[in-house]
Amino acid sequence: MPVPAQRDPGVTRDILAKWLGDPARLPGARITDLQTPEFSGFSSETLMVDVECGEAAEALAVRVAPLHHKVFPETRFAEEYRLMRILDADTDIPVPPVLWYEPDPGYLGAPFLVMRRIEGRVPTDMPPYHTGGWVTEISPAEREAMWWSGLDILARLHRLDVTALQLSFLDQPRWGKPGLDQRLRYYEHYMNWAYPGPKPTATRALAWLKDHQPSERNVPVLLWGDSRIGNIIYAPGGTPLAVLDWEMATFGQAEEDLAWYVYLDRHHSEGMEVPSLEGFPPQDETIARYEELLGRPMLDMGYYEVLSGFKFAVIMSRIAQAMIEWGLLDADSDFPCNNNASRLLDVILEGLPS
């Protein structure tokens, strides 16, 4: 969801040119093009920077932590940087090479990451890709290829050895043990932080999740957290080039990532009251394929679907509250608790046992 950007391109160019030209980075760097967005996402801001350094040229992307409104209670840029460096160096998960992390907010107003820019196409959230944009214009076969190739990356991620990769820094033990204990406590805190008004659907979902919490029978794995095709850069034909947005990375059951992958696609079609585009496989086929990829059954998928709906409803309530604070919605708007995400969650809850 975009908000008006408030960054001076000239000032930003001067700051970044000096920062990049540091002898430890790209001495003598000269910025030949800088694109600052007219609108910026709530989660982070991305600047596109073209740099010349001697005879070499670099196409960079600079992700800046939120300046004015945070989607999440805390920003985990340092952890995201560490994770992406490890994934790039020690795994076959395709991520943009992250070159530097700057924790000092004195440069751009907030910490930022600098990574090499990967040229390709990303399925859009605005408009949701089932309703408009380039995904509506490609063939069903290419959509199917995008879906299955993204699922394959997810399975490769879930097979990683988190101990060998030394990823324990991603754990958040203050919210409980890894998995559902941690997730429910964190998102209950998040829900109450996100929006001060009533949240009937999210509150009802949380109560159901607590009452029906299953045992977790498999060893926790690394979770992407925001596992969806809208966070993958694709080449024409449906080949993934890079996986983006690791700020929600954590540990838990593979089912949680798989449910989010399926649920966000459902939100972008059924949640928008439009049919799914031809080529995107249905949920049952996706789950069956994933069971083959991991070599085990997917357990309690109905529960993880509710968890996905609850998490997304909480995220949307925070985004809507930020829109109110920005003046993009009236102060008395009910959008924080009555939106596409909450209405789809209502549909799911109506079909559940009490």
**Residue 96: CATH number of its domain:** 3.30.200.20
Res 55 pLDDT > 90: no
Per-residue pLDDT, 2: 45
Res 79 pLDDT > 90: yes
Question: d(Cα 246, Cα 80) in Å, to the nearest integer?
Answer: 6
Residue percentage of the chain with pLDDT more than 70: 96
Tell me the mean pLDDT in the region 238-258: 97
Res 215 pLDDT > 90: yes
Last residue of a domain, one of 88, 116, 144: 116
Res 326 pLDDT > 90: no
100 and 193 share one domain: no
Per-residue pLDDT, 175: 96
- Categorize the per-residue pLDDT at 4 as very low, low, confident or very high, splitting at 50, 70 and 90: very low
211 and 337 share one domain: yes
- Categorize the per-residue pLDDT at 114 as very low, low, confident or very high, splitting at 50, 70 and 90: very high
Domain total in the chain: 2
256 and 305 share one domain: yes
Nearest to 155, CA basis, from 249, 90, 227? 227
pLDDT averaged over the chain? 93
Compute CA distances 191 → 71, 203, 214, whole Å: 11, 9, 22
146 and 108 share one domain: no
215 and 332 share one domain: yes
287 and 323 share one domain: yes
Count other Cβ atoms within 10 Å, centred on residue 202.
Answer: 29
Q: 52 phi and psi, to 5 degrees?
A: -115, 140
Last residue of a domain, one of 116, 145, 162: 116
287 and 326 share one domain: yes
Res 3 pLDDT > 80: no
- Categorize the per-residue pLDDT at 183 as very low, low, confident or very high, splitting at 50, 70 and 90: very high
Q: 126 phi and psi, to 5 degrees?
A: -130, 95
For residue 35, the enclosing domain spans 2-116
140 and 89 share one domain: no
Res 42 pLDDT > 80: no
Residue 113 one-letter amino acid: L
Structure tokens at 229: 């095709």
Domain presence at residue 125: no
Question: d(Cα 237, Cα 186) in Å, to the nearest integer?
Answer: 39
Please indicate, yes or no, whether the overall pTM of this predicted structure exceeds 0.75: yes
pLDDT by residue (tens digit) across 274-300? Answer: 999 999 999 999 999 999 999 999 999
